[in-house]
Structures are given as C-alpha cells and as structure tokens.
Structure 1
Amino acid sequence: MHVHFVFVTRYRRDVFTREILGDPHHIFSTTCADFEAELVELDGEEDHVHSLVNYPPKMAVSALLNSLKGVSSRLIRKTNYLSICKKLWRGSSLSSPCYFAGSCGGAPIEIIRQYIEQQQTPH
C-alpha cells in the first residue's frame, strides 16, 4: 500500500535548504527499511516535506509516521545546521505535531510522484 505523508516544520518556519533536504531522504530510507517499507519519493519546500512510502498493509501508518518524524527531527537537529539554529529555539522540535497522511489506493502512483517531484525545492 502507498501513503503520502506531509511533515510541516514547527511554526511553519522556513528552515529547509537543498542541503538539509538530503538528510531526510537518507533518514527516511533507513527508517522505512526498519519497518519493511520503502521510500518511493521525497521532496519538499522550505517549511515542509512530502514523502511517498510503500508500506506493508499489516503495519499501522501512525507507527511508521511517528518514527519517521521523530528520528528525522532528532538527527537533523543534531547536525546543528545554521538555518535551523537561527529560526528554531534550542529545545524546540523541528517538526510540528501536525501532519497529513493520505492513502494512495485510488490514484496512479506516477501522478503522486510527479506532484512530489514538482515541489519548489529551496536553493
């Protein structure tokens, strides 16, 4: 099954750069593998990240989602990127508690991939 996740930064702050968006791709791929899932696509803009994940139907989407958000937030903040340090307080989480998760059962996967690829990736 495929699901489209959207993660939003805390306070919708513009903290992601092209360099920083490379980290979630690696982190999401590794975390998905731990859950027997597969990261199909990932891209984002300065204040949010879209991802398309293929996951086994036996898995609770919320468990995968919480792990992706938690692990990526913790590891990205650990690197102390200047853009993140300037815009988020020291103890503040990178991601907002809000998210979107939508099942992609009826839509062609290529259309969703194309939508994610067309995000206005920051410089």
Structure 2
Amino acid sequence: MSPRWEPDPDIRRGRSVIHHLHVHLVFVTKYRHGAFTDQFLRRCKEIMRDVCAGQGAELREFNGDTDHVHYPPSLALSTLVNSLKGVSSRRLRQEFPAHIRRYLWRQHFWSPSYFAGSCAGAPLSLIKDYIDQQKRPD
C-alpha cells in the first residue's frame, strides 16, 4: 500500500513528534556593546553550528550586527538557547580574551534575554534574505 501523498523532506519526524518548525533567534551582547568583528562572527557561527548539531538541530542561516546575532520540538527551545549561549560564550572568551575584555566586564558575554520567533510558514528564502541584509561589521 503506497502513501496518499509524497513525503515532504522538510517535515521532520521523531519517535513521538512530526514537525516543520523553523525558529529565528536573536541574541544580544551584554550592555549591547559593539563587540563583534567579522572574524569573531565567523568563529561564533562555527561554534553555534557544532552546538546545534550536537543537540539534533540545524543552523540554517547565521549573521550578525555589531551587537547581536541572528530546532526540534523534542528539545526545549530554552535548552538549545542555553547551550548555544553557554558554549559560544565560553569558547569565544577563551579564544578572544583581550577583545572581549575591551567591550564587556566580568564573565558575562550574552544578555540573559533572547528573542525567539516562529517563521510562521514564511519561505526560508525570505528569512535568509532578511538575515543576509544585516549590517555585518568588517
């Protein structure tokens, strides 16, 4: 017996969930100080891609401005965010200690808050265009 419709490769299936969920996340540095450079953002993207892969999520697009950076339902979104922020903060502070001390104080890197918005069925190409238009530092 064949299925009544062709399976959609974008629909993800887990043991107890079927989903098609894309989330746009924005993290802001503590005090919104302009700490990011292009080199810094490239490394942050690598770190966050690794964290996502380890959590069973996929980082589809990444970009950033000078002070902010632009998942499966089986994982709480807050758990993914805590992992992304915690691991990236730790690794970036290890790799760029002087640069971070210049902009931020104490051990805080990210602001404790974040924005998470559902893409609500918007085409990923539209979200990609929005992210690509961010003013990335040199």
Fold equivalence (TM over 0.5): yes
Partner of residue 108 from structure 2, selected from 80, 93, 108:
93
Moved over 2 A (4+): 80-83
d(CA) in 2 for partners of 1:21 and 1:103?
Answer: 23
| Root-mean-square deviation over aligned CA pairs | 1.2
Q: Does 1:64 align with 2:84?
A: no
Partner of residue 77 from structure 1, selected from 93, 107, 121:
93
How many residue pairs get aligned? The number is: 118
Q: Percent identity?
A: 51
Residue identity matched to 1:99 = Y
Please say which structure displays the higher CA radius of gyration.
Answer: 2
Task: Tell me what 1:116 maps to.
Answer: 131
TM-score with structure 1 setting the length: 0.90
Task: Tell me what 1:37 maps to.
Answer: 57
d(CA) in 1 for partners of 2:91 and 2:73?
Answer: 27
Residue identity matched to 2:116 = A
- Say which SS state the counterpart of residue 60 (structure 2) adopts: strand
d(CA) in 2 for partners of 1:105 and 1:57?
Answer: 15
- C-alpha displacement at 1:81, in angstroms? 4.7
- The C-alpha deviation readout for 1:19-54, integer Å capped at 9, x for no partner, is 10011111111100111111000000110000xxxx
Residue identity matched to 2:86 = G
Task: Tell me what 1:8 maps to.
Answer: 28
- Say which SS state the counterpart of residue 37 (structure 1) adopts: coil
Residue identity matched to 2:75 = M
d(CA) in 1 for partners of 2:112 and 2:29?
Answer: 9
- The C-alpha deviation readout for 1:97-116, integer Å capped at 9, x for no partner, is 11101111321111111111
- Say which SS state the counterpart of residue 61 (structure 2) adopts: strand
d(CA) in 2 for partners of 1:62 and 1:83?
Answer: 28
Equivalent residues of 1:16, 1:83 under 8 A apart: no
TM-score with structure 2 setting the length: 0.81
